[in-house]
Amino acid sequence: MTLPLLLVESEAEGRRAFAAIDPARRGILPPGTPEQLAERVRAYLAAGFGGVIFRTVRPTTPEWIDMAAEVIRLIR
């Protein structure tokens, strides 16, 4: 399963970022911190998905890569 992720450092940033993104690009998961998104991804894995592929909703930055790595660390 491919999951478009809107990784943010805070819930306030998530609200601002989500509002700025075209609805067609928002994805199925709401924005979240690495900890919040790890919890949401775990639900898919617990439901039987064998794995997930992350993709960014916004342009990829070094910070996004660091946060995505943190999600991976938290779900392992």
pLDDT digits (tens, 9 = 90+) for 5-52: 889 999 899 899 889 988 877 777 789 999 999 999 999 999 999 988
pLDDT of residue 5: 85
Domain that holds residue 34: 2-75
pLDDT of residue 38: 95
**Euclidean distance between CA atoms 28 and 18, whole angstroms:** 12
pLDDT of residue 10: 92
The total domain count for the chain is 1
**Euclidean distance between CA atoms 72 and 76, whole angstroms:** 6
Residues 6 or more apart from 15 whose CB is under 8 A from it? 31
